[in-house]
Chain A
Amino acid sequence: MTETLTLDKPRSPRRPAARRSNFELYSWLFMRLSGLALVVLVLGHLFIMNILDGGVHRIDFAFVAGRWASPFWQFWDLSMLWLAQLHGGNGLRTIIDDYARKDTTRFWLKILLYVSMAIILVLGTMVIFTFDPNIAT
């Protein structure tokens, strides 16, 4: 005759594991990995665009067309756009969590943040992929 042992929830051996996610760990790691890539991508971008060879004074539509004719710079700008937007968005999420005092304020600030991130990511990606150097003609 077998006797089944029944225990109340807290001491039950089949108590479900605490439901925790590792999201914050991955976000912490992402900030460091993306930051490392952005050091090269963004500082390179700023050096080329603002300091090298006359800096901002040589930038116009033709200059952009010349750069985006190369898949290398298209890929550079696309990865910079996504990494910078996610890195900055994640940073701002942390700041909202730190300083928003009411849950409703926190909620709406985050909605605003996520909507602006989505707009910038979609618009920027679309611009890089659909760029037309002969748009005027």
Chain B
Amino acid sequence: MPTTASPPAMAGTSRRSGTLYIGDPGMWSWVAHRITGVLTFFFLFVHVLDTALVRVSPSAYNAVIETYKTPLVALLEVGLVGAVLYHALNGIRVMLVDFWSKGPRYQRPMLWGLIGVWVLVMVPGAFFMLQRAATELFGGH
């Protein structure tokens, strides 16, 4: 009978029966918090070095800052702002879970809330950050 034979044959082929742990959204919020934190820390290292060029000469500093104004790096800056904003909003959520008596109960709605705030801030933020780059790349008016 095909109906009795099919379940064992399907085992392992279905994505739901695989070994990948899908996890709770709370776990992924923690993973994203780590990744955005590490990326920001590495950027901070580079950023203090580039700013230190003001002690070398104005032209050395200006030359490096010019690379921050190129379209590709402008896109990376949107990524940096997005990473820092997520880390900040989720950090506030972590503090509310730790210190607010109702925090643990509302941890999941707070996660959806912070994602909503993130989108609301990033849409206009990305617009202002990429406006110049888009004009340069595609020619504006």
| Residues of A bordering B, CB below 8 Å | 32, 35-36, 38-39, 42-43, 46, 50-51, 54-57, 59-62, 64, 81, 84-85, 88-89, 91-92, 95, 116, 120, 123-124, 126-127, 130-132, 135-136
Contacts and interface: CB of A to CB of B under 8 A. Distances in A.
B44 interface: yes
Contacts of B69: 56-57
24 contacts: A32-B94, A32-B95, A35-B91, A36-B95, A43-B84, A50-B129, A51-B125, A56-B69, A56-B74, A56-B77, A57-B69, A61-B61, A62-B58, A89-B41, A91-B37, A92-B38, A95-B38, A120-B45, A120-B49, A124-B51, A127-B48, A127-B51, A127-B55, A135-B57
Interface of B: 34, 37-38, 40-41, 44-45, 48-49, 51-52, 54-55, 57-59, 61-62, 65, 68-69, 74, 77, 80-81, 84-85, 88, 91-92, 94-95, 98-99, 125, 128-129, 132
A125 to B, nearest CB: 10
Nearest to A35: B91
Among A51, A59, A81, A136, max chain B CB count under 10 A is at A51
A130 B54 CA distance: 10
Contacts of B91: 35, 39
A60 B88 contact: no
Q: Dominant SS at the B interface?
A: helix
Nearest to A130: B55
Given A39-B92, A135-B55, A46 B62 contact: no
A57 to B, nearest CB: 5
